[in-house]
Amino acid sequence: MNAHPPHWAAQKERGTPVLLRLTAWAARTFGRRTVRPLVLLIVLYFFCFAPRARRAIADYQQRLRDQGLDRALPAKRPVFGQFMAFADAILDKLDMWQGRLTRADISMVDPDDLHSQMRGQAHGQIQGQAHASRGQILVCAHVGNMDVCRALVERSGHLALNVLVHTRHAEAFNRLLESHGASRLRLYQVTELDAATMLDLHQRIEQGEWLAIAGDRVPVRANPGRDVPEGGVQTRSAPLEGTRKTSARVTTADFLGAPASFPQGPWLLAGLLRCPVNVLFCTKIAGRYRVTLERLADTVAWTRGHREAEIGRWAQRYADRLARECADAPQQWFNFYPFWNGHA
């Protein structure tokens, strides 16, 4: 393996817009059962010609076995099965945006009653009332199918959700989602998050809106000389407090028995915005989606002298919770790159 393999964001999109649209059209017109053989052939092609992705998934699955977390991992062809799980997730995304999957098809695990807080915020927005409480942060992961949650929010038409995404990494698929109704969510391209946008996010949190950010992808490397918030997103105007000229910042946490790099961004944002932080997962268990909402921190506070240690502590708590979710849905880990390599 290369000592310095490319960053995850450097991996090119596989598939063309025409192929993606053809698959979407076939799924919409003929149904999943008819289009599944086509998807099988497509995934088989990618499986054969993506050796780096195959090795990354095999490494991930071996770490699950080493930690005794492979109870739900099938014995036969588990690596190929993970590619197929990704194909099923794509079909589910399209079904969700087209209204074929509804709230009735989803189980909710919400021990802290966060969904009620979301409904309360949405009701306040509808009525035009002053918010009794501020917004919160949702830290997500590339496990399962987060577009199920995004589509539910989109179709509700009420709760405002601001999603930090790396949309350029999958431009073709994002255009496809937009053509199927994913148009009202507020998406922020994290490689172009400037100071004005950061201030805008702060205002939205104050207004009771929520912010979603992935906690398992290290940020895209910044260009030298750019002002970069220590969460790793580029700023193109006057830097905010806590920003400096640097490369993208990461922290290290133990994940499945070995050190792995995690972004500092969620915990830096939580400290700057001073709002509660929750984890959000959406995994498919026994053919039914399970949305899990849990409070991770009522507040994340750090000072300049203890910032690294405090961020590392919260990243470790997130990594531990992420490992438990991977144990429940081992083939729905969709980071197809060497996660445990510090340069991945």
| Calpha distance 166→68 (Å, rounded) | 33
Residue 331 pLDDT class (50, 70, 90 cuts): very high
Residue 225 pLDDT class (50, 70, 90 cuts): very low
pLDDT, tens only, 64-96: 999 999 999 999 999 999 999 998 888 887 777
- pLDDT attached to residue 141: 95
- pLDDT attached to residue 314: 96
What proportions of the chain, in percent to the nearest 5, are helix, strand and coil? 45, 20, 35
Lowest mean pLDDT among 149-153, 155-159, 298-302, 333-337: 155-159
Tokens of 137: 């942060």
Report the 3 state secondary structure along 179-208: HCCCCCCEEEEHHHCCHHHHHHHHHHHHCC
This prediction has a pTM of 0.81
Lowest mean pLDDT among 15-19, 285-289, 309-313: 15-19
At CA 145, angle to CA 184 and CA 56, rounded to 5?
Answer: 130
Q: Does 42 have pLDDT greater than 50?
A: yes
Q: Does 231 have pLDDT greater than 50?
A: no
SS3 280: strand
- pLDDT attached to residue 150: 73
- Residues near 277 by Cβ (< 8 Å), separated by ≥ 6? 136, 137, 139, 266, 267, 270, 295, 296, 297, 300, 314
Integer CA distances (angstroms), 44 to 17, 49, 74, 80, in order = 19, 9, 18, 8
H helical segments located in 31-163: 32-48, 51-66, 78-97, 114-127, 146-156
- pLDDT attached to residue 20: 60
pLDDT, tens only, 180-222: 555 556 777 666 556 777 788 899 899 888 999 999 988 765 3
Residue 70: name the closest of 87, 82, 86 by CA: 82
**66 bridge partner residues:** none
| Calpha distance 278→230 (Å, rounded) | 21
Tokens of 35: 């289009």
Q: Does 237 have pLDDT greater than 50?
A: no
